[in-house]
């Protein structure tokens, strides 16, 4: 089933996931976001089998750093984790929901 939410935007969002999903990192890139006078660099993680990438916020970046065991983005390829929608994610003080990442259950591999 296709959701209208999945038809717009270049990046993953909570509407793209109905339930948690195990994923494997295929690539990581860094892109500039915002206007020239107010821009910032952010990491974008691409997962095998998914067309859109996930723009990492601080919490998801720190979680992936812990799962991968390194802060080096180039070393994250092949790392497996679970991506899920958390309805309690807040933005500007309001609960808006969003995507979160967590490690695989104990005993699962970190790398392919």
Convert the pLDDT of each residue in 10-62 to its tens digit: 899 988 888 999 999 999 999 998 887 888 999 999 999 999 999 999 999 99
Confidence category of residue 79, pLDDT binned at 50, 70, 90: very high
Helices (H), 1-112: 58-68
Q: What does the alpha-carbon distance between residue 29 and residue 90 come to, in Å, rounded to a whole number?
A: 25
Residue position matching structure tokens 């309001």 = 94
111 or 77, which is more confident:
77
Is residue 56 classed exposed, middle or buried when 0-12, 13-18 and 19+ CB atoms within 10 A define those classes? buried
Q: pTM of this prediction?
A: 0.82
pLDDT of 35 reads 83
Please enumerate in sequence order all residues whose Cβ is within 8 A of that of 108, keeping only pairs 6 or more positions apart, or say none.
80
* Neighbour tally for 55: CB within 10 Å: 18
């Amino acid at each position: 089933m296709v959701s209208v939410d999945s038809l717009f935007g270049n990046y993953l969002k909570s509407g793209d996931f109905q339930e948690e999903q195990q994923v494997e990192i295929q690539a990581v890139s860094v892109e500039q976001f915002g206007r020239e006078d107010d821009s910032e660099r952010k990491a974008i993680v691409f997962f095998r089998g998914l067309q859109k990438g996930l723009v990492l916020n601080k919490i998801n970046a720190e979680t992936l750093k812990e799962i991968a065991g390194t802060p080096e983005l180039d070393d994250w390829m092949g790392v497996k984790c679970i991506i899920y929608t958390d309805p309690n994610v807040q933005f500007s003080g309001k609960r808006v929901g969003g995507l979160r990442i967590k490690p695989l259950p104990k005993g699962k591999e970190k790398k392919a």
